[in-house]
Amino acid sequence: MSHSFFNLYSHDFARVAVAVPRCRVADPAYNAQETIRLARDAAAQGAALVAFTELGLSAYTCDDLFHQRALLDACLAALNDVVEASKSIASVLVVGAPLRVDHQLFNCAVVLSGGRIHGVVPKTYLPNYGEFYEARQFSAADEALSQDITLLGQTVPFGAAQLFEVENLPLLKFHVEICEDVWVPIPPSSFAALAGATVLVNLSASNVVIGKADYRHQLVGQQSARCLSAYLYSSAGRGESTTDLAWDGQALIYENGELLREAERFQDESHVIYGDVDLERLSRERMRQTTFGQSMRRHAQELSRFRTARFALDLPRHQVLPLARNVARFPYVPSNPALRDKRCNEVYNIQVQALVQRLSSSGIRKVVIGVSGGLDSTHALLVCAKAMDRLNLPRANIIAITMPGFATSTRTLEQARALMAFVGCTASEIDIRPSCIQMMKDIGHPYAEGAEQYDITFENVQAGERTNHLFRIANHVGGIVIGTGDLSELALGWCTYGVGDHMSHYNVNASVPKTLISHLVRWVAESRQFGDVDSAVLLAVVNTEISPELVPGKSDDGAPAQITESVIGPYELQDFNLYYTLRFGFAPSKVAFLSHAAWSDRETGHWPNDAHVVRNQYAMKEIKANLAIFLRRFFLTSQFKRTCVPNGPKVGSGGSLSPRGDWRAPSDSEAVVWMNDLKNVPDVA
């Protein structure tokens, strides 16, 4: 059980490889041996699928040598060597070779494994412009007469409209096209994806000129994104003739528009890159994006042409096989500093623009906000300030109130005061303790008589009094209450329902998770969004331990008794759990597997050569325990709070929890199926 759990194939991943052999022009025997060597290496690394280069057994640059029988016979013999060798290679191989069919010559991709040829795919589009003269030697796929051919004593499907499915990994269904096929307006792989292919393979030669490598990235990345697929792309490297051209050996693996792996270009030796493709993610994206299904129906006649070859592979399922793929610890926050700054800038402007529109459309010129001195209210206050600037309204139109209660710490109170001064809003302070005591007297709570009973009622009386004040002040000044609660709190139900921090007139933080908010506040400070004003107070807020400050502490420094993350778990873990649960609908066992890949002691980096070790963060037992907290709170106890949330802008593809947007769920469902699946997660690695 333990070994299979920590195996990527148990979670609908597939390790794929793109191999670029160093070749010799018109030396098929040598090229076959190099192909076999790389195939064995890839299989040893657990790869299920290995793609090679266009016409790799002959080399691409043979020109009119392709019309020489000696070369074509040698290519057939070389292919036979690869087929025989595949009997002891536990991967499916896709190799390029010139093949004679019906008195014509075709530029082909041959799909084979276990000593069997599963299909031959001829190139559909032959470039005959610029430096390319393929129509001089080859025929295009549409010119073929036969749909089945005899090859090396085997009857084999022949044609471009083929899919290949691994029976014991059914989400791995792939299609093969060749070089120019992806450069045309409607590549064959577009229809193949609609027909069910989750992985698209391109055997390419593709000589290099200035700027072409970047264009390949755009081409392959966009094709994988539009087709909601993985895309494997090879291009020929060292050994091809440089009579008139040059070759860089670029190899790419993309998944739904995201680059998983890229080879270093201009290498002298053969090389292989690996990527672990999340097949379930691709399948779920197609289910979620209903226009994909509409496209299937629209092109049903074209899709009916596809045939599917099915075969099994000896996958390495019964061993520890960790992901050779970076899993971001903070899926809502880019790890690259430049990209992170760009993300923060965009999120901030989305929030500001949304609030500007709400104020403009309603004709309201004032906002009311409670400022606690913590992260969420700080960021919401910053959004309000920038919105007033955009509307050319004075920041005095921000009515900001800090409302100390029974457990408010000196630190957060001082930070709240400093923040309001920093922004230049209309600031005031209301001590809510008298009204809270009156409320507790009215309802007969023991605290009103001097008992130290700090129960949920004691906490919610304070949250309710704060929100009640804000709404009445908004009535009084003609403004709207700006909510401050974030996506993480809403996911975990960490908010007081109704007249509490759950409610507002408009919540600018509604779809921003806690881990991103901390970066947003830091970004506002470091990028000087408010000019040269000293923003040290913002950095102090970022470094403040998160607490609702509702239960009095007993320490001399006035620190609160409550530490939020000691109750609901670390936000960095719970935001990770939220992302993969909400965005992709993954089962808890897969979320835990991904969390282990991201947060445990592991090797990271461009696998396997330039790995580095990161310090341990969370052991498997901690990952499982905190995921259990998340599942109970998210699925069982908190949905009723999410069915009636205020308006607020969605900021990211990670999703929101608004019932008008990404998440619609019953308030009285059970969590049993998620908790049962969690039992499949081991306590130790």
- What is the model's pLDDT at position 603? 44
- What is the model's pLDDT at position 654? 85
Q: Among residues 95, 108, 117, 115, which one has the least CA distance to residue 50?
A: 95
Catalytic residue flag (residue 123): yes
The conformation of residue 401, written as its DSSP 8-state character, comes to E
**320 labelled ligand-binding:** no
**523 labelled ligand-binding:** no
Task: State in Å, rounded, how far the first CA of the chain is from the last one.
Answer: 11
**374 labelled ligand-binding:** yes
**460 labelled ligand-binding:** yes
Model confidence pLDDT, tens digit, residues 230-254:
999 999 999 999 999 999 999 999 9
Contact yes or no for 515/491 (Cβ under 8 A): no
Q: Among residues 674, 637, 641, which one has the least CA distance to residue 658?
A: 641
Where does residue 114 rank: exposed (0-12), middle (13-18), buried (19+ CB within 10 A)? middle
Q: Among residues 120, 101, 218, 202, which one has the least CA distance to residue 164?
A: 120
State the pTM of this model: 0.94
Contact yes or no for 386/398 (Cβ under 8 A): no
**375 labelled ligand-binding:** yes
Confidence check: pLDDT of 611 > 70: no
Spatial CB neighbours of 156, under 8 Å, sequence gap ≥ 6: 117, 118, 119, 120, 148, 149, 150
**377 labelled ligand-binding:** yes
Q: Summarize the confidence of residues 567-578 as an average pLDDT.
A: 97
Q: Which of 62, 75, 108, 179 is catalytic?
A: 179
**373 labelled ligand-binding:** yes
Catalytic residue flag (residue 54): yes
Q: Which residue has the higher pLDDT, 3 or 309?
A: 309
For the ranges 221-235, 267-281, 462-476, 615-629, the lowest mean pLDDT is seen at 615-629
Confidence check: pLDDT of 630 > 60: yes
Model confidence pLDDT, tens digit, residues 659-685:
999 999 999 999 999 999 999 999 998
- SS3 for 501? coil
Distance, in Å, from the CA atom of 542 to the CA atom of 651, rounded to the nearest integer, reads: 21
Confidence check: pLDDT of 494 > 50: yes
Contact yes or no for 468/502 (Cβ under 8 A): no
Q: Which of 54, 134, 180, 549 is catalytic?
A: 54
Confidence check: pLDDT of 226 > 60: yes
Q: Which of 23, 34, 123, 134 is catalytic?
A: 123
Per-residue pLDDT band at 532 (split at 50, 70, 90): confident
For the ranges 165-174, 539-548, 601-610, 660-669, the lowest mean pLDDT is seen at 601-610
Distance, in Å, from the CA atom of 660 to the CA atom of 10, rounded to the nearest integer, reads: 35
Question: Which helix or strand (DSSP H or E) is residue 350 part of?
Answer: helix 337-362
Distance, in Å, from the CA atom of 286 to the CA atom of 3, rounded to the nearest integer, reads: 30
Spatial CB neighbours of 42, under 8 Å, sequence gap ≥ 6: 17, 19, 50, 91, 272, 274
Number of H helices, E strands in the chain: 23, 22
- What is the model's pLDDT at position 601? 62
- What is the model's pLDDT at position 556? 65
Model confidence pLDDT, tens digit, residues 455-485:
999 999 999 999 999 999 999 999 999 999 9
Task: Give the torsion sign (CA, 541, 543, 548, 549).
Answer: negative
Spatial CB neighbours of 110, under 8 Å, sequence gap ≥ 6: 79, 94, 95, 96, 97, 99, 117, 119, 120, 121, 151
Give residue 65's identity as a one-letter amino acid code: L
Confidence check: pLDDT of 362 > 70: yes
Residue 402 phi/psi, 5° resolution? Answer: -105, 140
- What is the model's pLDDT at position 34? 98
Confidence check: pLDDT of 95 > 70: yes
Question: Any idea which residue has 């993985």 for tokens?
Answer: 230
Q: Summarize the confidence of residues 583-610 as an average pLDDT.
A: 76
Distance, in Å, from the CA atom of 30 to the CA atom of 482, rounded to the nearest integer, reads: 71
- What is the model's pLDDT at position 554? 76
- What is the model's pLDDT at position 2? 62
Give residue 67's identity as a one-letter amino acid code: H
Contact yes or no for 196/305 (Cβ under 8 A): no
Spatial CB neighbours of 130, under 8 Å, sequence gap ≥ 6: none
Q: What is the mean pLDDT of the chain?
A: 95
- What is the model's pLDDT at position 604? 43
**129 labelled ligand-binding:** yes
Where does residue 516 rank: exposed (0-12), middle (13-18), buried (19+ CB within 10 A)? buried
CB count, 10 Å around CB of 225?
16
Distance, in Å, from the CA atom of 18 to the CA atom of 12, rounded to the nearest integer, reads: 20
Question: Which helix or strand (DSSP H or E) is residue 83 part of?
Answer: helix 69-85
- What is the model's pLDDT at position 569? 96
Model confidence pLDDT, tens digit, residues 632-664:
999 999 999 999 999 999 999 888 999 999 999
**231 labelled ligand-binding:** no
**153 labelled ligand-binding:** no
- Strand pairing report for 426-429 and 398-402: parallel
Contact yes or no for 264/282 (Cβ under 8 A): no
Q: Which domains does the chain have, with CATH numbers?
A: 13-311 (3.60.110.10), 337-679 (3.40.50.620)
Backbone region of residue 424 per phi and psi (left: phi > 0; alpha: psi in -120 to 50; beta: other values): left
SS (H, E, C) 555-593: CCCCCCCCCHHHHHCCHHHHHHHHHHHHCCCCCHHHHHH
Model confidence pLDDT, tens digit, residues 405-426:
999 999 999 999 999 999 999 9
- What is the model's pLDDT at position 534? 81
**Length of the chain, please?**
685
Task: Give the torsion sign (CA, 201, 202, 203, 207).
Answer: negative
Catalytic residue flag (residue 173): no
Q: Summarize the confidence of residues 129-152 as an average pLDDT.
A: 96
- What is the model's pLDDT at position 600? 82
**496 labelled ligand-binding:** yes
In the structure encoding, which two tokens stand for residue 544, read together?
A: 């403040």
Question: Which helix or strand (DSSP H or E) is residue 281 part of?
Answer: helix 279-288
**447 labelled ligand-binding:** no
